[in-house]
């Protein structure tokens, strides 16, 4: 009789009014049948009778017959639900087809006449037949309640005059964790931890073991937590670790928890690496390791225990292990002896009454003083019945708190079942409403001590079909949150330090296992599985031997693989078999695996609503995944999605993707991207935006991301409207907390309102990159986004914003490399540039009227300007005051002839990196020597740089790394148009002028590379560079005319070509430690 109660209790949800009424109402509406009167009769008469039968099944002699009836009713409900769900699937599929044929316009199927719809869509007719049969079967089975009731002596059952609502209550805020009556026990345990008992002088061990032993629910974990908090304040131990052990001794998992607890950092190494890291954290330190809820004796798992405790040997003498367990034998086996074993006794009578009162009344107490006194008196009279169990006090008290009524409290506390802790916990479960019972029993799928994510559990409840309501205006997840809060306030869940993580007490977990008839958690290496289960979680070592049994579970709705440290299998090879066989799956959690490919057969899971792949990355997802029209929750690490397929997930609630690429090819309307509103992730790259032909009605808000890249094609010859580009960019509204924004290939006529003006959203933007764009001219007042951004990158932008850069020039510059080894003709170079980039070179001496300025924020730390018509004065004014700038890159700027003077460059006090590439007409480095913090310098393909007085400009003395490539270093007197060097000349003596590169002052220089600089004749002061470790000299034929000595004693690598090598004289000390490499 005692065993029947929990079994029958798990069936109460089948008589839930919202569940049954909602199922039948929806099913009959698809069939075009008016069943309002039938549903009213069902709700008023039949459902109350079904509830009576289920309650009678727990108590009466007809329990076997009633059990058969309840089981058949449950099967009928599941069958009807599956058929209705499949019917919905085909309706959704047809709906998407109609949307596509209507050019992306939404069509409500509900607005079409049913007959017309069915004639047009013959494929639905067989589903209607199945649906009608399943609903009639359900009605017939439910109706058998009228036949069974008289057999139990119930002749007249009054009609229910009121309809139950969804069963949700107004929940109270969760109670603050409170410890009452354990101060003496806490002091005693701390004294043992600080003492030397258990650690004999001759012992080689550096730690001893203290154990707290007591019955389940006695408060062992609470006492250990209390001790832990006190020890953290006392700082007697250098390191404190908390690990929940439970029934399965998983060495790698527990070691990882020890490492993370000791270091405060997450880690994912293998066992060897984890143990090594743990030893580093504990070496020469006094530690306290708390092992909570230990079950396995050392004799039965000796090897695992030795492996787990091995790293502890490096700790200081006086370290301790504090363990909690129900069994004295477990404590003794792990080394706790004599007075080091603390037997947890019942609380003192007054302390227990205080604890019971705390949970029963909460804080603050009831306002009615007279009622409060009466209720307190009832507690005093009945507290002894709970036998001093803190867990029972919490559970019973939580139930009493919800209904402060004298008669109710007397009725509950007069029951004898309260004398047994497990019976009192079962009573608490049985007094939950049916929908809460079902949700709590689902938690048996998780291991004892498992930290449950609140949001994830609610999503699984929703996907499994546990959350029901008759009010369609209510958001289903809000109802799930109410369910969770109700269980939390009733103490079925325990909060942790993390706001979204919760645990279940071991005894309550045992209750969940007893009442969950269709849920099964498998751990270890089983060989068989019961066929009746519908929800399965696996934490196993080997899958191969079990795969056939799993595939035989035809009614399975939930499949969860819990992570295990050493799982000797790759699940990829089994997924196809699982998906082909288990067609009714609604929840699939593979979050513990790193998958790279999904089988096409996943598209056959027509009922699937929840798919967790949060550790997996996919280059391409199977096309069939976009036919999962019921999908509500998807969690992936990295993947590329097709926008047209994303639009098919019309029931999507949440899309968790850390890094997503979204291809909008063949997308007709921006409106079809509205599922992006459900996205939560880190970065999104939307490409192919040139394919969007229509904006749609509403903005698409992309929430909860830090990085956004919006890309229009820069290569495809696609005819597109510039106005359409502007509408699309306006419609893709990023979140206010966006940190990095990149826009590629935008050709629109307007900037979006969220980017400019007073209403801009991007206050937190750190980096803005514009590449290959054509941007409009806007006022300086509209450039708030530019002024507030720390990192601005401008690359191949055609027309620029006023106040950002100069606005002359009309085409992007392509990269051109020029072979300078044999000289060049400046005019020929300019002609080639003009032809390639279709702009007219502007004489730097010509003054421009109303030249625009480059306005940049003082907080800028990185600036990249590429392929832009930037003038000397624009750069000069733009760099003023950039005291935070650490990196500057200038590339393909054909209009730049000189860097700013020393008074401007001297302000760049933080600049560490400078790159100047392909600035074809740059002649002077200006006040270059003023860059006193510069470490890395690259000058590449700047053929017009001059050597004043035969010598190059003075380089900053702070340089560590110097790279010069393809710079001619022409004589200052050589004009831009009259250079006589021919591009076809090959002799080094055609122009006798040779420039000197001054290096002697670069005392910190470690790496020097000079390549293809035909006019460099000598390297002055090279012998003084004592820190030089790497040297490259190639393509510098005029080094033959000057003596160059190498003085570094630490040089490791020396690369040169044979012509230059002949003229480099190495001192003896350097020769012994150098490597000579001839290409």
Q: Tell me the pLDDT tens digit for each residue of 526-567.
A: 767 888 899 999 888 778 878 888 899 999 999 998 876 555
Q: Tell me the pLDDT tens digit for each residue of 1053-1079.
A: 777 765 444 445 443 334 434 444 444
Of 711, 712, 755, which Cα lies nearest the Cα of 733? 755
Q: How far apart are CA 768 and CA 709, in angstroms?
A: 10
On the 0-12 / 13-18 / 19+ scale of CB atoms within 10 A, 1043 is: exposed
Task: Name the helix (H) or strand (E) containing 234.
Answer: helix 220-234
Q: CB atoms < 10 A from the CB of 100, how many?
A: 15
3 state SS of 693? coil
User: For residue 862, what are the β-bridge partners?
Assistant: 791, 887
Q: CB atoms < 10 A from the CB of 233, how many?
A: 7
- Cis link prior to 1033 (omega < 30° from 0)? no
Which alpha helices (DSSP H) does 442-546 contain, by range? 454-464, 476-489, 506-515
Q: How far apart are CA 1006 and CA 1025, in angstroms?
A: 8
Q: Please, what is the Cα angle at 856 between 851 and 862, to 5 degrees?
A: 125
The mean pLDDT value of the chain amounts to 75
Say if CB 509 and CB 540 are below 8 A apart.
no
Structural tokens at position 499? 């706001």
Would you state the pLDDT for residue 911? 94
- Using alpha carbons, list the distances in angstroms from residue 795 to 538, 799, 891: 52, 11, 9
Q: How far apart are CA 106 and CA 83, in angstroms?
A: 26
Chain length of the chain: 1079
Would you state the pLDDT for residue 858? 73
Q: Tell me the pLDDT tens digit for each residue of 239-294.
A: 999 988 877 777 888 888 898 888 877 777 778 888 888 888 888 899 999 998 88
Overall average pLDDT of the 755-780 stretch: 66
How does residue 817 score in pLDDT terms, banded at 50, 70 and 90? Answer: very low
How does residue 131 score in pLDDT terms, banded at 50, 70 and 90? Answer: confident
Q: Which CATH number fits domain 517-659: 3.40.50.720, 3.20.20.70, 3.80.10.10, 3.90.1150.10?
A: 3.80.10.10
Model pTM greater than 0.85? no
Q: How far apart are CA 874 and CA 893, in angstroms?
A: 12
Would you state the pLDDT for residue 152? 62
CATH of domain 183-343: 3.40.50.300
Would you state the pLDDT for residue 624? 93
Overall average pLDDT of the 878-894 stretch: 85
Say if CB 383 and CB 414 are below 8 A apart.
no
Would you state the pLDDT for residue 938? 96
Q: CB atoms < 10 A from the CB of 499, how many?
A: 8
Which alpha helices (DSSP H) does 465-619 contain, by range? 476-489, 506-515, 547-551, 572-581
Say if CB 985 and CB 823 are below 8 A apart.
yes
Positive or negative torsion for Cα 258, 262, 267, 270: negative
Kindly state the percentage of the chain with pLDDT values over 70: 71
Name the percent of the chain in helix, strand, coil, to the closest 5: 40, 15, 45
Complete DSSP assignment for 786-802: HHT-SEEEEES-SS--T
Task: Name the helix (H) or strand (E) containing 741.
Answer: strand 740-744
Would you state the pLDDT for residue 933? 93
Would you state the pLDDT for residue 581? 92
Overall average pLDDT of the 3-16 stretch: 54
Would you state the pLDDT for residue 823? 40
How does residue 1040 score in pLDDT terms, banded at 50, 70 and 90? Answer: low
How does residue 788 score in pLDDT terms, banded at 50, 70 and 90? Answer: low
Would you state the pLDDT for residue 475? 85
Helix 183-194 vs helix 220-234: crossing angle, to nearest 10: 60
Of 627, 632, 582, 629, which Cα lies nearest the Cα of 612? 632
Residue 780 sits at φ, ψ, to 5 deg, of: -60, -30
Would you state the pLDDT for residue 352? 80
């Amino acid at each position: 009789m005692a065993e029947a109660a929990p079994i029958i209790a798990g069936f109460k949800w089948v008589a839930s009014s919202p569940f049954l009424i909602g199922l039948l109402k929806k099913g009959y509406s698809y069939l075009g049948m008016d069943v309002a009167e039938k549903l009213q009769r069902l709700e008023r008469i039949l459902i109350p009778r079904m509830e009576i039968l289920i309650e009678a099944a727990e108590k009466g002699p007809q329990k076997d017959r009633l059990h058969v009836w309840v089981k058949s009713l449950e099967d009928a409900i599941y069958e009807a639900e599956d058929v209705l769900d499949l019917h919905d699937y085909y309706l959704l599929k047809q709906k998407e087809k109609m949307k596509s044929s209507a050019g992306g316009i939404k069509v409500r199927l509900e607005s079409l006449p049913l007959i017309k719809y069915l004639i047009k869509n013959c494929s639905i007719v067989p589903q209607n037949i199945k649906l009608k049969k399943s609903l009639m079967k359900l009605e017939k089975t439910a109706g058998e309640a009228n036949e069974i009731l008289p057999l139990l002596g119930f002749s007249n059952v009054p009609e229910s005059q009121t309809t139950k609502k969804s069963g949700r209550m107004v929940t109270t805020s969760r109670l603050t964790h409170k410890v009452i009556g354990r101060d003496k026990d806490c002091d005693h345990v701390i004294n043992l931890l600080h003492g030397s008992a258990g650690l004999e002088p001759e012992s080689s061990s550096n730690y001893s073991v203290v154990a707290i032993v007591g019955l389940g629910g006695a408060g062992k974990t609470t006492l250990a937590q209390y001790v832990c908090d006190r020890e953290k304040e006392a700082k007697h131990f250098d390191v404190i670790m908390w690990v929940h052990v439970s029934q399965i001794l998983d060495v790698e998992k527990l070691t990882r928890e020890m490492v993370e607890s000791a270091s405060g950092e997450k880690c994912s190494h293998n066992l060897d690496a984890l143990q090594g890291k743990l030893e580093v954290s504990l070496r020469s330190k006094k530690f306290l390791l708390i092992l909570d809820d230990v079950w396995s004796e050392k004799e039965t798992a000796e090897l695992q225990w030795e492996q787990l405790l091995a790293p502890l040997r490096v700790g200081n003498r006086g370290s301790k292990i504090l363990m909690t367990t129900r069994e004295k034998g477990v404590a003794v086996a792990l080394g706790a002896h004599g007075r080091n074993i603390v037997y947890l006794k019942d609380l003192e009578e007054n302390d227990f009454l205080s604890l019971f009162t705390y949970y029963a009344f909460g804080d603050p107490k009831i306002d009615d003083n007279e009622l409060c006194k009466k209720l307190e008196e009832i507690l005093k009279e009945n507290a002894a019945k709970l036998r001093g169990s803190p867990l029972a006090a919490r559970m019973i008290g939580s139930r009493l708190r919800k209904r402060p009524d004298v008669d109710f409290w007397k009725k509950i506390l007069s029951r004898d079942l309260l004398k047994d802790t497990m019976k009192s916990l079962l009573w608490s479960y049985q007094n939950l409403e049916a929908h809460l019972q079902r949700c709590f029993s689902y938690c048996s799928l998780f291991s004892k001590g498992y930290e449950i994510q609140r949001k994830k559990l609610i999503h699984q409840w929703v996907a499994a079909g546990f959350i029901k309501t008759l009010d369609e205006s209510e958001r289903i997840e809000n109802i799930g949150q109410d369910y969770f809060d109700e269980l939390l306030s009733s103490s079925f869940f325990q909060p942790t330090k993390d706001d979204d993580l919760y645990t279940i007490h071991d005894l309550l977990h045992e209750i969940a296992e007893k009442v969950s008839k269709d849920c099964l958690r498998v751990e270890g290496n089983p060989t068989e599985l019961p066929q009746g289960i519908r929800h399965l979680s696996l934490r196993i070592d080997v899958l191969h031997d079990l795969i056939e049994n799993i595939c035989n579970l035809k009614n399975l709705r939930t499949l969860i693989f819990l992570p295990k440290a050493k799982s000797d299998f790759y699940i990829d090879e089994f997924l196809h078999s699982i998906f082909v066989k288990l067609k009714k799956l609604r929840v699939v959690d593979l979050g513990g695996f790193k998958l790279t490919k999904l089988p096409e057969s996943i598209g056959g899971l027509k009922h699937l609503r929840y798919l967790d792949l949060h550790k997996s990355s996919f280059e391409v997802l199977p096309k069939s995944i976009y036919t999962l029209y019921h999908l509500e929750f998807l969690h992936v690490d990295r993947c590329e999605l097709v926008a047209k397929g994303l639009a098919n997930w019309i029931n999507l609630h949440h899309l968790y993707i850390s890094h997503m690429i979204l291809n909008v090819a063949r997308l007709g309307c921006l409106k079809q991207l509205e599922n992006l509103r459900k996205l939560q992730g880190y970065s999104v790259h939307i490409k192919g935006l040139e394919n969007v032909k229509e904006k749609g009605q509403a903005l698409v808000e992309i929430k909860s991301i830090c990085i956004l890249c919006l890309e229009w094609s820069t290569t495809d010859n696609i005819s597109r409207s510039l106005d359409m580009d502007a509408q699309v960019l306006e419609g893709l509204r990023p979140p206010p907390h966006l940190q990095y924004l990149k826009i590629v290939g935008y050709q629109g006529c307007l900037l979006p309102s969220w980017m400019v003006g007073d209403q801009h959203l991007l206050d937190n933007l750190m980096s803005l990159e514009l590449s290959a764009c054509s941007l409009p001219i806007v006022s300086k007042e509209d450039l708030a986004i530019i002024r507030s951004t720390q990192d601005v990158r401008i690359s191949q932008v055609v027309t620029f914003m006023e106040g950002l850069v100069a606005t002359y020039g009309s085409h992007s510059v392509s990269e051109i490399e020029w072979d300078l080894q044999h000289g060049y003709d400046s005019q020929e170079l300019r002609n080639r540039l003009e032809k390639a980039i279709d702009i007219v070179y502007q004489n730097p001496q010509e003054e421009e009227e109303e030249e625009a300025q480059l306005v940049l924020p003082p907080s800028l730390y990185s600036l990249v300007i590429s392929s832009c018509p930037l003038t000397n004065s624009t750069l000069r004014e733009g760099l003023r005051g950039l005291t935070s700038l650490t990196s500057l890159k200038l590339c393909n700027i054909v209009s730049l002839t000189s860097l700013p003077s020393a008074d401007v460059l001297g302000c760049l006090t933080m600049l560490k990196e400078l790159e100047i590439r392909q600035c074809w007409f740059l002649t002077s480095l200006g006040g270059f020597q003023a860059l006193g913090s510069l470490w890395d310098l690259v000058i590449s393909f700047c053929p017009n740089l001059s050597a004043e007085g035969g010598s190059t400009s003075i380089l900053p003395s702070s340089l560590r790394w110097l790279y010069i490539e393809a710079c001619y270093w022409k004589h200052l007197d050589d004009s831009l148009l009259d250079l006589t060097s021919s591009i076809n000349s090959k002799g080094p003596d055609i122009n006798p002028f040779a420039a000197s590169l001054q290096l002697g002052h670069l005392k910190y220089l470690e790496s020097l590379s000079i390549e293809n600089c035909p006019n460099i004749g000598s390297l002055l002061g090279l012998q003084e560079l004592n820190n030089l470790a790497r040297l490259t000299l190639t393509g510098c034929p005029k080094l033959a005319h000057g003596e160059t000595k190498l003085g570094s004693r630490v040089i490791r690598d020396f690369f040169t070509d044979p012509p230059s090598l002949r003229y480099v004289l190495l001192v003896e000390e350097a020769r012994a430690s150098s490597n000579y490499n001839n290409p």
